[in-house]
Each structure stands twice: as structure tokens, then as C-alpha cells.
Amino acid sequence: MSQTARTYKVVGMTCDHCRASVEEEVAEIPGVESVDVDLTTGRVGVRGDRVSDGAVAAAVEEAGYEVAEAR
């Protein structure tokens, strides 16, 4: 298996509802094992098996936000 851990900078999140929306959408991606959203920094950490940056960006957009960068 190809375990990945990536961090994304997401713009527009300001409250617990924002955090929950992003966590919920990203967690639905097949292979995602954990999602950690830090509102203070705007960072979203994603750990899982073969999770693509495109899938995470699409899930974040579905929640109403935008990925500004991925690391």
C-alpha cells in the first residue's frame, strides 16, 4: 500500500462549521484514514492510502473552500 500524508493550505475557513464541513467532505474520499483541520493556520492534514491532491481539492471545493497549496 502507498500510505500518504499531505498538508493543504485552505482559504476561507473561519469557524467550527467550516472545519466540520471540510473534515466531512475530505473524510468521504476513498482511502482517507484521517483528516485534521487547524482553523488558526488554515492547514488541513490528510493521511491515507493513495489519496490524490485532485481528490482533496475537489472535496474542499465541494465544502465551499479552496486549496491554495499542497505539501
CATH of the domain at 28: 3.30.70.100
pLDDT at 3: 83
**Hey, what amino acid is at 12?**
G
- The pTM of this model reads 0.92
Q: Is the pLDDT of residue 1 over 60?
A: no
Supply the pLDDT for residue 2: 67
First-residue to last-residue Cα distance in the chain: 20
15-47 pLDDT tens trace? 999 999 999 999 999 999 999 999 999 999 999
- CA–CA gap between residue 35 and residue 45 (Å, rounded): 6
Residue written as cell 482559504?
11
Q: How many domains does the chain contain in total?
A: 1
> Residue 64: which domain range?
3-70
